[in-house]
Amino acid sequence: MSPQLVPSIGFRLTAWYTLVLCLMLVLYASATFVTVRHEFLEQLDDDLYEDFETAEGLLVRTPQSGFTWADRHHDPENDEDRGTDVWAPNGEQIYRSRASSALPPPALSAASAERHYDSIVANGRRWRTLTRTATVGGAAVVLRVARLEDRLRTQLSEILTVLVLGLPVVVVFAGVGGYILARRALTPIDRLAAEARRITADRLHERLSVPNQRDEIGRLAAVINDTFARLEASFDQLRRFTADASHELRTPLAVIRGIGEVGLGETRTPAEYKEAIGSMLEEVDRLTTLVDTLLRLSHGDAGTVRLSREPVDLGQLTRDVVSSLTILAEERNQRIAFTETDHTVATVDRLVFREAITNLLDNAIKYSSEGSVIDIRLRTDRDLAVLEFADRGPGIPSAHRARIFDRFFRLDEARSRASGGTGLGLAIAKWAVEVHDGHLSVDENPSGGSVFRITLPLITPADHAKQHAHATEVSGGRT
């Protein structure tokens, strides 16, 4: 079905409302008609029983073994819609009124002291009868009374006509009213849609109006506003990232261009050309590092990096990183102190998590003052491994701690570029920690500087032993 032919929500709500109401009205009308018909039949049966008692009380036996009516004012012969007939147990007709003459004889074998109601069609007319045995003047007889059902059926027909003819009228009015109510209920959604259309990429700071936050429309508007807020933050981050990336790329390119223009400006000695080419290669290496780092981050954001998880001794991994970066600390006359409180094993990708430790330690070495001590502490906190890097640097103001892990974010632009940093080290570290379901945060160091803290889910020694046993079993099976 093409989009132009898809009915609107208001039309669908009205259609469903009308259909459901129509079904309910049909069920209600059917139940009403059945109930009224049952009540009318019960009333007719009660009237027949009263006729039977009246006939039984007025019927007397004559000395000639015949029967007559004790009340001459009550003569069944004068009734056209009622009938009375009396039969002997042997099937002999004793009395029969004019109205009941068209009825067939009753089934005497089924007659008893119990009530026996029946419907009989005679001469195109339907009668309701009550047949029962009675004792008149000491003689047992079968007494039957009858009444026409014409009046009852006429009343039922009128009721059915009213229900059938009134149902479409009610459905039409209900449909119109349902459509009006649906339109009124959907008007706030149309208003939200109109407001949302005005919000473009340049106006993401605007928000939808929320007249009532407690109803469904208000909650929908609140969710849309939250979505716009996230989009605004993402767009702002993307703009900052694009601007910073452009700046980072432009600087080494400008340096390369400047060196090339100077080299071509006049004839120089081979040593000077060699020095110029070396400077250009340094800038190319810087660009290569920057591009490689951006590619790693983009792959991490896309979730295409495959981790090779294994149980890793975090203490030993940290010592390896400290050993490889000690030479950088010695150039600044710094000392790295590593303290391991508990033996800690976590399931991580060794190379990826090593990069997180390397970047955090490299950051601490760059920003700590000369001759200071960098403290690295490893401990466990219930089911978490906690790895802390405490430096003696200038510290990070609380206003900037939320953005310290953003890409290309620097507190000191000149110092960062002078040290060769790209502003991506902490972003890489944050990604490497979070991809292992961990968390990276920064706090103020009471002794001055900052404390970067990694919290990571760990495995217990028992789990480590189970994994080692399973790996040994699998290896033995392959052998």
Please state at what angle helix 314-331 crosses helix 350-367, rounded to 10 degrees: 30
Task: Select from 356, 353, 347 the least CA-distant residue to 383.
Answer: 347
For residue 289 the two structure tokens come to 């590092």
Q: What is the pLDDT of residue 452?
A: 93
Mark whether 275 and 352 lie in a shared domain. Answer: no
Mark whether 230 and 366 lie in a shared domain. Answer: no
Enclosing domain of residue 334: 309-466
Asked whether residue 161 is assigned to any structural domain, the reply reads no
- The 3-state DSSP class for residue 215 equals coil
Apex 221 CA angle, 215 and 227, nearest 5:
140
- Phi, psi dihedral angles at 187 (to 5 degrees): -60, -45
Mark whether 37 and 86 lie in a shared domain. Answer: yes
Mark whether 296 and 326 lie in a shared domain. Answer: no
CATH of the domain at 394: 3.30.565.10
Percent of the chain with pLDDT over 70: 81
385-423 in b/e form (b: 16+ CB < 10 A) is bbbbbbbbbebbeeeeeeebbbbbbbeeeeebeeeebbb
Asked whether residue 87 is assigned to any structural domain, the reply reads yes
Mark whether 22 and 105 lie in a shared domain. Answer: yes
Task: Please give the tally of structural domains in the chain.
Answer: 3
Mark whether 287 and 320 lie in a shared domain. Answer: no
DSSP label at residue 78: G
Asked whether residue 210 is assigned to any structural domain, the reply reads no
Mark whether 247 and 151 lie in a shared domain. Answer: no
Mark whether 152 and 109 lie in a shared domain. Answer: yes
Asked whether residue 37 is assigned to any structural domain, the reply reads yes
Asked whether residue 378 is assigned to any structural domain, the reply reads yes
DSSP label at residue 113: S
Mark whether 378 and 296 lie in a shared domain. Answer: no
Asked whether residue 125 is assigned to any structural domain, the reply reads yes
Contact yes or no for 430/453 (Cβ under 8 A): no
For residue 90 the two structure tokens come to 């042997």
Task: Among 302, 332, 365, give the residue marking a domain's end.
Answer: 302
Q: How crowded is the C-beta side of 348, counted as CA atoms within 13 Å?
A: 27
Q: Which amino acid is at 81?
A: D
Task: Among 246, 280, 302, give the residue marking a domain's end.
Answer: 302
CATH of the domain at 49: 3.30.450
Task: Among 302, 327, 352, give the residue marking a domain's end.
Answer: 302
Asked whether residue 175 is assigned to any structural domain, the reply reads no
Mark whether 289 and 334 lie in a shared domain. Answer: no
Structure-token match 């039984």, residue found: 56
Q: What is the pLDDT of residue 338?
A: 93
For 247-360, list the strands marked E by DSSP.
309-313, 335-340, 345-349
Residue 178: exposure state from Cβ atoms within 10 A (0-12, 13-18, ≥19):
buried
Asked whether residue 93 is assigned to any structural domain, the reply reads yes
**Can you give the length of the chain in residues?**
479
Contact yes or no for 46/147 (Cβ under 8 A): no
Contact yes or no for 36/159 (Cβ under 8 A): yes
Mark whether 241 and 336 lie in a shared domain. Answer: no
Where does residue 295 fall: left (phi above 0), alpha (psi -120 to 50 degrees), or beta otherwise? alpha
Mark whether 333 and 457 lie in a shared domain. Answer: yes
CATH of the domain at 225: 1.10.287.130
- pTM to 2 decimals? 0.49
Residue 310 and residue 65: Cα distance in Å, rounded? 116
Residues of the chain with pLDDT below 50 are 1-3, 414-418, 420, 461, 470-479
Residue 229 and residue 237: Cα distance in Å, rounded? 12
Q: CA end-to-end span of the chain, whole Å?
A: 61
